Amino acid sequence: MKVVIQRVKSASVTVGNEITGAIEEGLLLLVGIHQDDTKEQLEWMCKKILKLRIFEDKDEKMNLSVSDVGGGLLVVSQFTLYGNAKKGTRPSFIEAAKPDKAEPMYEEMISYFKEHSDLNIQTGKFGAMMDIELINDGPVTLILEK
């Protein structure tokens, strides 16, 4: 599993002409599911994201988590995180989980966040072409892989 985490002042995702998710301060999560990912990896990733201290405290030190600041999470599926372009010029996505595995894991991630936090959890639409707008905060961008 690979997640690109972007600390944002605001972010939204639009499918067609409909906004499917929007948050103010919080984290935009671009989520790639690998073909070999397990439930244990998913739970580790979710716990880590909720506790990751990447928001500034009153002393401008990164000591606060998204949970501490009561931010939102915008969770967007992105299989292209497993694009491999080492050979040739057209990426291969063979390592990305197929939709029959990836979609349930994506939904499980969303459920985990809803069950284990009081945060505003918003989403994109699995498998759809999406437009994402965001205002990076910092910018602070991390890549977590498990």
SS3 (DSSP) at 106:
helix
Place of tokens 């939904």: 107
Check 14, 38, 80, 141 and give the catalytic one: 80
**How far apart are alpha carbons 48 and 42 in whole angstroms?**
10
Vertex 33, ends 47 and 9: CA angle to 5°?
Answer: 60
Beta-strand relationship, 120-123 and 72-77: parallel
Within 8 A by CB and 6+ apart from 111, the residues are: none
**How far apart are alpha carbons 50 and 121 in whole angstroms?**
12
Strand partners, 12: 22, 133
Q: Catalytic: 38?
A: no
The catalytic residues are: 80
